[in-house]
Amino acid sequence: MKTTPNDAIALLIADHKKVKGLFKQYDALSDRSKASKKKLADEICNELTVHTQVEEEIFYPAIRKPIGDEDLMDEAIVEHAGAKDLIAQIGGMDPGDDLYDAKVKVLAEQIEHHVKEEEDEMFPKVRKSGVDLVALGRRMAARRDELMAVLA
């Protein structure tokens, strides 16, 4: 599926909403729904892996200097590292394993915190920075499509 964002922030917010919905679906599953849990957890992990890679390769470098908030940017990178660690752990597990659901839940909580900071703090600064968000969004969408194709 090709992504056609209005701008970089719209693309990222759409990703945030999609992953939030996937976490909600996961939460609604019963303990017996192991196959569905695995499928959803894998989808969540794939979406987050692509999202963080696009942010780190394109979005963050493009906005770091214009927004002038090194602490906010550094914190976002550290949050990504924590999420990647949990994603790797979840990817190597099965839904019947001890702590599987707990790791998915903690990942959801970490992502919720990260999304709130991006949407409440980072994105408003980016909007005021004068960065060409439409051009940036096109680059990000193209890279996202490339990365998703590899996972398909």
Please give, one letter per residue, the 3-state secondary structure of the chain. CCCCCCCHHHHHHHHHHHHHHHHHHHHHCCCCCHHHHHHHHHHHHHHHHHHHHHHHHHHHHHHHHHHCCHHHHHHHHHHHHHHHHHHHHHHCCCCCCCCHHHHHHHHHHHHHHHHHHHHHHHHHHHHHHCCCHHHHHHHHHHHHHHHHHHHC
5 pLDDT band, cuts 50/70/90, is low
pLDDT tops 90 at residue 18: yes
Task: Report residue 73 as tokens.
Answer: 């940017």
Contact status, residue 114 vs residue 79, Cβ threshold 8 Å: yes
Burial class (CB in 10 A: 0-12, 13-18, 19+), 113: exposed
Confidence of residue 31 (pLDDT cuts 50, 70, 90): confident
Which CATH number among 3.20.20.80, 1.10.150.20, 1.20.120.520, 3.40.640.10 corresponds to the domain 8-151? 1.20.120.520
Average pLDDT over residues 127-139: 95
Residue 61 has pLDDT above 70, yes or no: yes
